[in-house]
Structure 1
Amino acid sequence: MKIVTLILAGGKSSRMQKDKALLDINGKPLLTNIYHIAEQCTDQVYIITPWQDKYRPILPVDCNFITESSYFQGGLIAFFEALNYINSDWILLLACDLPFLTVDDLKNWINTLGNISENTIAFLPKNDKGWECLCGFYRRNCQDSLQKSIQTGNRSFQQWLNQENVKELVVKNKQILFNCNTPKDYEKVVNS
């Protein structure tokens, strides 16, 4: 079973008021940390971003980049575009701002992928608002379904996934899914 990681690093970071991917976490940029975690668990790692030159210096020289076709188009469209470049059974889709995610968490989740039925297109955690779309697994063959959803004008992961067969990835320690979106969030991470 081939698993490829796709890390989204193309957002505005407007709530943070500076680039979240470059936030210092234990002496390294947040994007660098996420990259190295994913690299230890999956066959290949790609960064999708419109700013390769900004992130190239903080990532390994052999890092794979996928350039978004336009700025700030949203995660759903970026994910759809990236699927054209990825050949795998599963895609681990990650946001660049997951400071508490660990190698052990990912390895444990990956070990359960073999139990997911063929007709399930995604294996994702849930929160009070719906699916945790940017910290979970998607089957490569979800592209047709996603394209149809986008063609109707949809730009929402939740709207797309609520019409599909998705299995819940049960996460006991919800802190793993914490997104570092605001200066207050960053302060919490630094002080933890």
Structure 2
Amino acid sequence: MSVNVKAVILAGGQSRRMGQDKSLVLWEGVPLLRRVYDVAAAVVGDVAVMTPWGDRYQEILPANFEGLADEQPGEGPLVALQQVLRESNPADVDWIWLLGCDLPCLNGAILQGWVDKLENHSSDQLVAVPHSQAGWEPLCGFYRPQVLPQLQEFITQGGRSFQNWLDQVPHVQISLGQAEAAMLYNCNYLEEGSRQ
């Protein structure tokens, strides 16, 4: 048995620390968003990009890329995940793989291992997310559509912290070794994206 996993890359952040759209910053000559897209596509095939700017990334992504319109831009990744889960059909998708656009070091082999293990999780384990010394790493995590009611309740009560929400829901903690932790490095400042 295999699981159906859909990757959704969030490309709607304000990029305040970066000072410009981080999706377009080059890393080793390739825009950050395209690097993440290519790795996700190689691992699961089914990839969408969620952004409030539908046309901005057409030149750097495959011509047939699937775009999702961010209905509440600026509200943060937890609200974006709520929309993605709301629009996902549990009959078609077993897991949503949520990804930030600023992960230039993703390793397809490691990620394939994570995806392959998803079918081993019991149905009451609603999320599978890496956990580092700094806390949860939700923007390379996996979420079942069935977690939507708990997420909606958390947001309705004013919750916006991914860290607090993940502590509350039935989860699988993906442990990180040195290679996995290095893979989840995220690029927030312009000088970091200088591997051109």
TM superposition score normalised by structure 1: 0.93
Q: 1:138 aligns with which of 143, 160, 183?
A: 143
Which residue pairs with 1:179 in the alignment? 186
CA distance in 1: counterparts of 2:75 and 2:187, whole angstroms: 20
Q: Quick check: 1:4–1:86 contact (8 Å CA) kept in 2? A: no
Q: Quick check: 2:23–2:33 contact (8 Å CA) kept in 1? A: yes
The DSSP-based 3-state class of the residue aligned with 2:97 is strand
Which structure 1 residue ranges, 4+ long, deviate > 2 Å from structure 2?
84-87, 183-187
Which residue pairs with 1:76 in the alignment? 78
Q: 1:2 aligns with which of 1, 4, 26?
A: 4
CA distance in 2: counterparts of 1:17 and 1:26, whole angstroms: 19
Could you list the runs of 5+ residues in structure 1 that have no partner in the other structure? none
Q: Does 1:124 align with 2:126?
A: no
Amino acid at match of 2:20: K
Q: 1:18 aligns with which of 5, 17, 20?
A: 20
**Range moving further from structure 2, 100-109 or 178-187:** 178-187
Which residue pairs with 1:46 in the alignment? 48
Q: 1:113 aligns with which of 118, 122, 128?
A: 118
Identity over the aligned pairs, expressed in percent? 38
Cα deviation code 1:141-175 (max 9, x no counterpart): 11111111111011111111111111111221211
Which residue pairs with 1:30 in the alignment? 32
The DSSP-based 3-state class of the residue aligned with 1:161 is helix
The alignment yields a C-alpha RMSD, in angstroms, of: 1.4
CA positional deviation for 1:128 = 2.4
CA distance in 1: counterparts of 2:67 and 2:88, whole angstroms: 11
Aligned length: 189
Q: What does residue range 131-170 of structure 1 map to in structure 2 within 5 Å?
A: 131-170=136-175
Q: Quick check: 2:54–2:69 contact (8 Å CA) kept in 1? A: yes
The DSSP-based 3-state class of the residue aligned with 1:57 is coil
Q: Quick check: 1:22–1:29 contact (8 Å CA) kept in 2? A: yes
CA distance in 2: counterparts of 1:71 and 1:93, whole angstroms: 16
CA positional deviation for 1:25 = 1.7
Amino acid at match of 1:91: I
CA distance in 2: counterparts of 1:33 and 1:117, whole angstroms: 32
Could you list the runs of 5+ residues in structure 2 that have no partner in the other structure? none
CA positional deviation for 1:43 = 4.0
The DSSP-based 3-state class of the residue aligned with 2:55 is helix
Q: Quick check: 2:26–2:193 contact (8 Å CA) kept in 1? A: no
Q: Quick check: 2:97–2:142 contact (8 Å CA) kept in 1? A: yes
The DSSP-based 3-state class of the residue aligned with 1:58 is coil
CA distance in 2: counterparts of 1:79 and 1:113, whole angstroms: 19
